[in-house]
Amino acid sequence: MNNIKPLHVVDMPERLHFIPEWAKSKGMKQVEVALRVGASQGVVSRWYAGNVPSSEYLPKLAELFGTDVHGLFRHPDEEWIAQLLRTRTPAERNKAIEMLLLLFKDDERTGTEG
């Protein structure tokens, strides 16, 4: 399924996660993120710079932002589709993918071009 187009086209950050984007979407500054998950501001600053949080903080961050741990590695604008599909059967997910591909069949963009 390499030809599936992303629903939300963003420039991929140099980091693997979208913690700054999640914080921004919730109106939070680094200091608030630090306080709410029990991390130092220095640790949070390193996350913003690209470090991946330790397994101690990933569940806390996910809870803070109202997603699951995997959601931290998706742009927050794409969370709605993940939540919608999470409770669907594999057959329903495949049907949704087929419908989306039909909807965007004339779109020349690929998943890598943006």
* % of the chain surpassing 70 pLDDT: 82
- CATH code, 79: 1.10.260.40
Whether residue 76 is contained in a domain is answered as yes
Q: Considering only CA atoms, which of 10, 8, 34 is closest in space to residue 23?
A: 34
Q: Which of 2-11, 17-26, 54-63, 100-109 has the lowest mean pLDDT?
A: 2-11
**Domain tally, the chain:** 1
Task: Say what the pTM is.
Answer: 0.70
Whether residue 113 is contained in a domain is answered as no
Whether residue 110 is contained in a domain is answered as no
Computed over every residue of the chain, the mean pLDDT equals: 87
Asked whether the predicted pLDDT for residue 79 surpasses 80, the reply is yes
The span from the CA of 47 to the CA of 5, in Å, is: 28
The domain in which residue 54 lies consists of 19-103
Whether residue 1 is contained in a domain is answered as no
